[in-house]
Amino acid sequence: MTATPQGLDMLAVAATAAQAKGGEELVALDVSEPLPLVDVFLVVSGRSERNVAAIADEIEDKMLEAGHKRLRREGRQEARWILLDFGDLVVHVFHEQEREFYGLERLWKDCPAVPIAEAQTASAG
């Protein structure tokens, strides 16, 4: 299995929103093989709790504008690791320290990376 066109469209919206609020080190992973209910994980870093919250809020706003409803959100109060579940796309917005500590990229290292620039270009076209 590979990520669906809808999953890639969602990735493009979320990545653009994250970058607009200063999200750093964006990494997208195609997790459709081990997780049949999810296509893509997007992992983003923020520099502070305020930045992490702003990134997550912007992603939620832009996804809703694009017609994608959030199914679940966790971690908003602490703003150290916020998980946003949109079905085909799950976004992990980390404070830099938490990202390094939990190492999701290492955990999912067998999953192929999804080029974010390609998803954004496909979505724009």
The full set of domains in the chain, from first to last, is 5-124 (3.30.460.10)
pTM exceeding the 0.85 threshold for the entire prediction: yes
19-39 pLDDT, tens per residue?
A: 999 999 999 999 999 888 899
- Phi, psi torsion values for 37, nearest 5 degrees: -90, -5
As given in the structure block, the two tokens for residue 94 are 């980390």
Q: Rounded to whole angstroms, how far apart are CA atoms 122 and 102?
A: 31
Count of beta carbons in the 10 Å neighbourhood of residue 39: 26
CB 30 within 8 A of CB 111: yes
28-84 pLDDT, tens per residue?
A: 999 999 888 899 999 999 999 999 999 999 999 999 999 999 999 999 899 999 999
Residue type, 48: S
Q: What is the reported pLDDT for 122? A: 58
Q: What is the reported pLDDT for 56? A: 98
As given in the structure block, the two tokens for residue 52 are 């992490």
Helices and strands (H, E) in the chain, number of each type: 5, 5
